[in-house]
Structure 1
Amino acid sequence: MPTFGMMPFSSRAVGVVVLLGLLAGGPALLAWRFQDWRYAQQLARLAQAQAETLNQITQAAAVQQKVEQDKRLVLEKQLSSSEQTHYRALSDAQRDQDRLRDRLATADVRLSVLLDADDVAAGCAVPAAPRTGGVDHGAPRARLDPAHAQRIIAITDEGDRGLIALQACQAYVRALRQ
C-alpha cells in the first residue's frame, strides 16, 4: 500500500475522494457551461440583429441614392432642353440681325428717326405738311447715315444676346430650385 507522508491511502480511498470532488465540482462546471452557452446565444442574436439593421440601412441608402440619381437625370434633361431652346433663340436673333445688317448694307432698308417738327431750337425746321409726291403721311422722319445704322444694329444685337443669356440663366436657376 502506498503511503503518503505517514498516512496510508488505499486506491479505494483515492477513488472516493476523486469521485466526491467531481460530484462537488460537476454542477458548478455544468452551470458555467450552460451560462456560457446562453451568452453565446445572446451574442449571436445581437450579431444577427445588427446585421439586419445594417442591411436595412444599406438598402435605404441605395434607394435614396437611386432617387437622387433620378432627380439629377431629370434636371439634366430639363437643362439640356432649356439650353437647346435658348441656343435656338440666340441663333434666330443672330440670323435676324445678320439679315438686317445685309439689308442696310445694300440700301434695301434705311433706318430713320422721328423728328419733332415743333423743335425749332435744334435748327431742324421740317415742313409740317407732307410732300406732295410722298406716300408716307405720318410724322416727319430723317434717315440715318448707314454707318450709324450699322452701329445701332450692333448695339441692339449685343442687347438681344444679353437678354437671351439672362433668360437662360433665369431658367437654369428656376430648374435648380425645383
Structure 2
Amino acid sequence: MTVPWKAVGLLALVLIGTVSAWQFQDWRYGKQLAEQARLHAETLNDLTQAAATAQQAEQDKRLALEQRLATSEQTHYRKLSDAQRDQDRMRDRLATADVRLSVLLDADSAGGCDLSKATGAGGVDHAAVRARLDPAHAQRIIDITDTGDRGLIALQACQAYVKAISASGLAPP
C-alpha cells in the first residue's frame, strides 16, 4: 500500500504546527512563571525587611526599657543605702547616748510621778512631760523603723518596675 505524499505532507504540517504551538506555549508559560517567581521573591524580600525593621524596633524598645530599669534600680539602691546609713547613724547615736528617745506623756496619766520636763530651745512641746525610753527599747524601735523603711523602698522599686514594664508594653525580661 502506498501512502499518498499529500497525506504525509499534511501530517507533517500538522505535526510541525503542534510542536511549534507547544514550544510557543512553553515559552509563554515559562515567561509567566519567571515573572511570578520574581514577584514572589520581591514580596518575600519586602516581608523580610519589614520583619527585620520591626524586630530592631522591639530590640530598641527593650534596650531603652532595660536602661530605664537599671537607672531606677540604681536610684532605689541609693535610697536603700542612704536609709541604711541614716539608721546606722541613729543607732550609733543611741548607743553613745548622744540622743535619747523619749515619749510624750499625758499630763493626767503622769499623776504624781516626778518626771523631768523636756527643756531645750528646739522643743515643740512647751513644758510637756516626757519619759525617756530604755536604750534597748529605743534600739528595737530603730530596728522596726529600719525594716519598715527598707520595705517601703523595696515596694517603691517594685511599683516603679511594674509601671515601667506596663508602660513599655513589653514582656518582662
The two structures have a TM-score, normalised by structure 2, of: 0.85
Percent identical pairs in the alignment equals 64
Asked whether 1:167 is paired with 2:123, we answer no
Distance 1:173 1:51 in 2: 43
Q: Structure 1 residues 81, 62: closer, same or farther in 2, change over 3 A?
A: same
1:167 corresponds to which letter in structure 2?
Answer: Q
2:64 is the alignment partner of 1:74: yes
Q: Deviations over 1:33-66 (max 9, x none)?
A: 1111111111111111111111011000000001
Task: Judge conservation of contact 1:117–1:128 (CA < 8 Å) in 2.
Answer: no
Evaluate the alpha carbon distance shift between residue 177 and residue 46 of structure 1 in structure 2; reply closer, same or farther with a 3 A threshold: same
- The reply on whether 1:157 has 2:172 as its aligned counterpart is no
> Aligned pairs, how many?
163
- Residue aligning to 2:40: 50
3-state SS of paired residue (1:119): helix
Secondary structure of 1:139's aligned partner: coil
2:103 touches 2:130 (CA, 8 Å); kept in 1?
yes
CA contact (8 A) 1:117 1:127 kept: no
Is residue 2:52 matched to residue 1:34? no
1:61 is aligned to 2:51: yes
After superposition, the C-alpha distances for 1:58-97 in whole angstroms (9 at most, x for unaligned) are 0000000010000011001100100000000000000000
| Higher RCO (Cα < 8 Å, 6 or more apart) | 2
Task: Using structure 1 for the length normalisation, give the TM-score.
Answer: 0.83
Alignment pair present for 1:108 and 2:82:
no
Q: Calculate the aligned-residue CA RMSD, in Å.
A: 2.2
The unaligned stretches of length 5 or more in structure 2 are 168-173
